[in-house]
A = this chain, B = another copy of it.
Amino acid sequence: MSDDTRKQTEIHAADQIRKHQRNLNTKELSAAILSHDRAALAQAITIVESTQSDHTQLAKEIVQACLPFAGKSLRIGITGVPGVGKSTFIDVFGSYLISLGKKIAVLAIDPSSPLSKGSILGDKTRMDQLAAEPNAFIRPSPSSETLGGVARKTRETIILCEAAGFDVILIETVGVGQSETAVHSMTDFFLLLMLAGAGDQLQGIKRGIMEMCDAMLITKADGENVKPANFAKAEYTSALHLFPAKENGWTPRVEVCSALEKRGLTEAWQMISDYEKWMTERGLISIKRHQQDVYWMHQTIREKLISDFYQSPENKKRISEIESDLIAGKITAFEAARLIVG
């Protein structure tokens, strides 16, 4: 055999092995996820979150294999400003749901996670009770610079968790920025946690987030806080009535709860169950999910078009040429854009 032929044969063999290994991994991993193997689930999520280019295809195959077995959970988004007690609530509420026989996955969306590291789910020990439960799976937010990137990874992680048999997915997000819109657009139910006695401004909650929520929960309703919490419940109930009615006909409700005293958990779950019943009876859950799928498809298309354009070296060169004419005041911004993408 000539050296060249040998080399070719070796490369071919290596390719065969790689291909075989990859197929094996995909198949094995998917099968393990479907048999509710938590280690396999964690490994698959790591592949989905990976930025390594050879993981992209692998991730796609695993997600594709899990897809037919996904979609059966109830997806709950949870938001509220830092300090409202999101982690404590999820810890106690998640444990309560497990006591009802549910399997709970807890995910998080925090597009600024490289900066605010540890702010949400970064420290799993803040969910002591839930972390010790065999029927709970907690996964911190993936690190990623763009909200789009985090959103894709979280949406694919939901699919994997559902295929792994988790029937309630709780997705936590901080009450600022664009991440609420993202979480709202990937969940069935959107829960806003609020503190009693603090004005809306102090809580940094935007009107838009209040409009998005399907229910509000006043947290820390214990001790001296019980009275203000009940007052806040009445106040927010009437405030929510001021918003235009939701298209699905659901009227958002307000409840109080105490994670400390484990009170209000049944009421919170009742509220969510009533919503699920309302939506399911009207066939609205699947319509909502279809709309969300279409929304994310278009979002992804837009992001891809823009990032492809800006990554091209020719475009970069053209932009910097035209930009100098723009800054010199020779052309308008719109003419500059026309010359670049015309």
Contacts and interface: CB of A to CB of B under 8 A. Distances in A.
Interface string A309-324: 1000000000000110
A interface majority secondary structure: helix
**Most chain B C-beta atoms within 10 Å of own C-beta, residue among A301, A309, A332:** A332
A333 B293 contact: yes
A233 to B, nearest CB: 18
B296 A331 contact: no
Copies of this chain, count: 2
Contacts of A308: 341
Interface in A75-89: none
Interface string A58-96: 001001100110010000000000000000000000000
Contacts of A60: 335, 338
Contact of A309 (B71, B293, B297, B301): B301
Residues of A in contact with B, size category: 35 or more
Nearest to A342: B304
Contacts of A204: 207
A306 B302 contact: yes
A290 B333 CA distance: 10
A206 interface: yes
B67 A155 contact: no
A100 interface: no
Contact of A332 (B156, B323, B333): B156
B326 A293 contact: yes
B207 A301 contact: no
B297 A156 contact: no
B333 A155 contact: yes
Given A200-B200, A200-B201, A294-B327, 16 more contacts: A60-B338, A67-B331, A71-B329, A155-B333, A290-B327, A292-B333, A293-B336, A297-B323, A297-B337, A300-B341, A301-B337, A301-B340, A302-B306, A305-B309, A305-B341, A308-B341
5 contacts: A60-B335, A67-B330, A155-B334, A304-B341, A305-B309
Interface of A: 60, 63-64, 67-68, 71, 152, 155-156, 159, 200-201, 204, 206-207, 290, 292-298, 300-302, 304-306, 308-309, 322-323, 326-327, 329-338, 340-341
